[in-house]
Chains A and B, each alone.
Chain A
Amino acid sequence: MPADALSKVFSALADPTRRDMVARLTRADATVNELAEPYDVSVQAVSKHLKVLEGAGLVTRSREAQRRPVHLEAEVFDLMTKWIERYRRQAEARYERLDTLLDAMPDGDPEPPDTGEKP
């Protein structure tokens, strides 16, 4: 997934309604009407949100079935979260090294660094 595709996923998930829709689709496929039920918005508004999610590759809609249920493309979702998690783990590893160093450092600071602050 190139960076611009990742950007689309990020911006698609920037909206709380769309995040909620994705969360519900992790449980089961749903029709547009089913997705619209809990929200105080029109089916048309939900369709707009779905278009954004579709554009990011996060969901697909079956062409054949009459109900045209919306399906979450879990792989796309997983890819993004895996990337973030990998990045997070690298930061965590770095800060675990800092933990170890901080443990080994003596308390107090006899020679405060000169930071160029003007009096």
Chain B
Amino acid sequence: MTMATTDHETQIIVDPNVPLVRIIREFDAPPEKVFRAHADPELFAQWIGPDNMTARVDHFDCRTGGAWRYTMARDDFEASFHGSFHDVVPNELIVQTFTFDGVPEGVALETLHLEDLGDGRTRLTATSLVDSFESRDAVVASGMETGVVEGYNKLDALLAED
């Protein structure tokens, strides 16, 4: 198994000590653009959903103290998610909560860091922290779009050995 073999490939880190999942991905665009694609609901709806579902943004106020809610839908299925924007620093940071409406007592704390790599490039680090290892592993096992994707980076190295 190979993961994160190129600059662009999504890298996933499943932390063994803390119930979090972390995704690292680089983009050929400056942080301003990547931030805007996360902060502007019209732009956000264009890429967040899986190909076979339509994302409908019900509410989206991407600023410190704001809130958000969106729904993923296909013919026979709908799932809604909501949360609060805890801290928003333009072009740098979004800290928000994340809840699947189907499990209202569950909440993840999500942090999005944008790092300017120069030459119009950005490294995105998205971390999702949940309240138990069981929840985290269920997120990874379910492969739900809700989550952050994580990989086991040391395992990658191990698996790359012959």
Contact = CB atoms under 8 A, between A and B. Distances in A.
Interface of A: 1, 3-4, 6-7, 10-11, 13-14, 16, 19-20, 22-23, 81, 83-88, 90-95, 97-103, 105, 107-109, 112-117
A69 B148 CA distance: 39
Nearest to B65: A116
B76 interface: no
22 contacts: A3-B134, A3-B141, A6-B140, A10-B133, A10-B137, A14-B16, A81-B155, A84-B151, A85-B3, A87-B149, A88-B149, A91-B10, A91-B149, A94-B47, A94-B50, A94-B145, A95-B25, A101-B43, A109-B32, A109-B36, A113-B90, A116-B66
| Interface range, B side | 35 or more
B158 A7 contact: no
A107 B33 contact: yes
A83 B161 contact: no
Contacts of B10: 88, 91-92, 95
A2 to B, nearest CB: 8
Across the A-B interface, the 6 shortest Cβ-Cβ residue pairs: A14-B16, A91-B149, A116-B63, A97-B47, A102-B29, A92-B10
B152 A13 contact: yes
Nearest to B36: A109
Contacts of B66: 116
B62 A115 contact: yes
Contacts of B159: 23, 81
Given A6-B141, A10-B14, A97-B46, 12 more contacts: A4-B137, A6-B140, A19-B155, A84-B151, A85-B3, A87-B21, A88-B11, A91-B12, A94-B145, A99-B27, A112-B90, A113-B90
